[in-house]
Amino acid sequence: MEPLIKVTGLTKIYGTSGQTVAGIKDVNFDVMEGELVSVIGRSGCGKTTLLRCIAGFEKYDGGEIFLDGKRVCSPGPDRFMVFQGLDQLFPWLTVRGNVIFAMKTVHKGMTPKELRERAGYYLELVGLSGWADCYPYQLSGGMKQRAFLARALSVNPRVLLMDEPFGSLDAFGRRAMQELLLKLWEKTGVTIVFVTHDIDECIKLSDRILVFASGSLKAILANPLPRPRQCEDAGYRNFFAEVSRMIGEEAGAGEEPVREPAVRLKWADATLR
């Protein structure tokens, strides 16, 4: 079977005129249709850069990305990116309005009735039926995340690109969202590339784990654990230690080495003068 996403020799360089930094360099991997793959590594190792390249938001400098055999060079409705943070809903639209807004950009021929029904279906899937007429400011962080998921799934993308989507939630909220994501993934069969810096999260969620360090893909680990995954199990603890060792070893002891900024910020210069 051909992979849905194929990444070969992917390189993204930031900066101009001699001051450059490699966001990612010579990255190679495949993702099969329906897989849930995590990308993990320390801050600054290139996780977001990778996701933005796959989303088509960044022009890359070397290599290729193929989605279903077609070269990715711009954003498209087959990919939907869920960003970090809780400010991704339009504050002037209701929860239902936010979902319908996204659907209208993709499902152009749908009648208002169909849009409303379909929005209702996805809001029910994420447990927000009773909140459809509320505005984003009325929602908790976890509820906003549910609304993002409803909006993302409603456009029926082939790939969900998720950039530390649960990073702003507390431990309880995060666990609830992980469980919901797994439920939705099983139900829809959508392919997911999930960026995180949380080892537990990547073990609980993913089939395979891409370990990044300093812009390079250092290892691809297949998750050997059956679902549901319990952190009390000996197998879980062993795998946790393996992933942890891999991140630690590959990044070197201590922090991810800080890479010099590619572009000197004008306001920073002004402040220092």
Ligand X SMILES: Nc1ncnc2c1ncn2[C@@H]1O[C@H](COP(=O)(O)OP(=O)(O)OP(=O)(O)O)[C@@H](O)[C@H]1O
Find the binding residues for ligand X in span 157-216 (CB under 6 A).
Answer: 197
Size of the site for ligand X (CB under 6 A): 16
Question: What is the contact mask toward ligand X in residues 9 to 38, using x (rule: CB under 6 A)?
Answer: -----xx-----x-x---------------
Query: Least distance (Å) from ligand X to the CB of residue 43?
Result: 3
Of the listed pieces 28-36, 96-104, 234-242, 255-263, which binds ligand X according to CB under 6 A?
255-263
Q: Which is closer to ligand X, CB of 102 or CB of 202?
A: 202
Q: How far is the CB of 217 from ligand X (least distance, A)?
A: 12
d(CA 79, CA 59): 16
Q: What's the CA dihedral at 33, 167, 93, 154 to 10 degrees? A: 10
Rounded to an integer, what distance in angstroms lies between the CA atom of residue 111 and that of residue 104?
10
Nearer CB in complex with ligand X: 45/65: 45
Q: Report the nearest approach of ligand X to the CB of residue 23 (Å).
A: 4
Cβ proximity to ligand X, 29 vs 131, nearer residue: 29
Query: Nearest distance from residue 146's CB to ligand X, in Å?
Result: 23
Q: Name the H helices within 56-111.
A: 95-106
Least CB distance from residue 226 to ligand X, whole Å?
Answer: 29
H-helix segments, the chain: 47-55, 95-106, 112-125, 141-154, 171-188, 199-205, 234-251, 266-272
Choose among 222, 262, 255: nearest CA to 18: 262
How far apart, in Å, are the Cα atoms of 261 and each of 13, 52, 232, 272?
11, 19, 42, 16
Q: Which is nearer to ligand X, 7 or 123 (CB)?
A: 7
**Between 47 and 174, CB nearer to ligand X:** 47
Which pair of tokens denotes residue 205? 């969620």
Question: Could you tell me the smallest distance in angstroms from the CB atom of residue 50 to ligand X?
Answer: 7
Non-local CB neighbours of 133 within 8 Å, separated by 6+ positions? 94, 95, 96
Nearest distance, CB of residue 212 and ligand X, angstroms: 7
Which residues does residue 120 pair with via DSSP β-bridges, in sequence order?
none
Q: Which is nearer to ligand X, 15 or 141 (CB)?
A: 15
CB-CB neighbours of 236 under 10 Å:
17
Least distance from ligand X to the Cβ atom of residue 173, Å:
20
Choose the binding region for ligand X from 112-120, 145-153, 170-178, 257-265 (rule: CB under 6 A): 257-265
Q: Could you tell me which of 152, 134, 126 has the C-alpha nearest to residue 97?
A: 134
Q: Which span sits near ligand X by CB under 6 A: 106-114, 136-144, 180-188, 258-266?
A: 258-266
Q: Which of the residues 37 through 96 are near ligand X (CB under 6 A)? A: 41, 43-49
Main-chain dihedrals φ then ψ at residue 218, nearest 5 degrees: -95, -30
CA–CA gap between residue 27 and residue 64 (Å, rounded): 10
DSSP letter (8 states) at residue 138: G
Establish if 225 lies at the interface with ligand X (CB under 6 A): no
**Interface contacts to ligand X, rule CB under 6 A:** 14-15, 21, 23, 41, 43-49, 197, 259, 262-263
